[in-house]
Amino acid sequence: MKLYIGNLSFSSTETEVREMLEQYGPLTSFSWITDRDTGRPRGFCFAEMDNANADAAIKALNGKELGGRNLKVNEARARTERRNTRRSW
């Protein structure tokens, strides 16, 4: 199952979030999302793990405080096609 982990504090680190998730089972993938222009974290990430471990992680971590913010942890929705909104002047 692919998980969405959102409302991350900008002071949270990739290692910190990865280790928090690994308490519920091994990750099959992990994507730390950064801004393409600045390279700074965007405040969310994605992780994949087996269904039983993912369910346990959602139950335990959704709403949990990390870095002064309440996490939002749920099953990731399928990505929808986006049109290019960047303008080239």
- The SS3 call for residue 49 is coil
pTM confidence score: 0.85
Question: Does residue 88 form part of some domain?
Answer: no
**Is 56 among the domain residues?**
yes
**String of b and e for 6-30 (b: at least 16 CB within 10 Å)?**
bebeeebeeeebeebbeebeebeeb
Provide the CATH number for the domain around residue 35.
3.30.70.330
> Measured between alpha carbons, how far is residue 51 from residues 1, 29, 55, 89 in Å?
5, 13, 6, 46
Question: Would 62 be classed as within a structural domain?
Answer: yes
- In single-letter form, the type of residue at position 32 comes to W
User: Which domain covers residue 52, as residue numbers?
Assistant: 2-75
On whether residue 25 sits in a domain, the answer given is: yes
- Flag whether 32 is in a domain: yes
Number of domains in the chain: 1
> Is the pLDDT score of 87 beyond 70?
no
For residue 67, is it within any domain?
Answer: yes
What's CA 48's distance to the chain center, in Å?
10
Give a yes or no: residue 31 inside a domain.
yes
Domain-located, residue 80? no
* Start-to-end Cα distance in the chain: 41
pLDDT digits (tens, 9 = 90+) for 27-62: 999 999 999 999 999 999 999 999 999 999 999 999
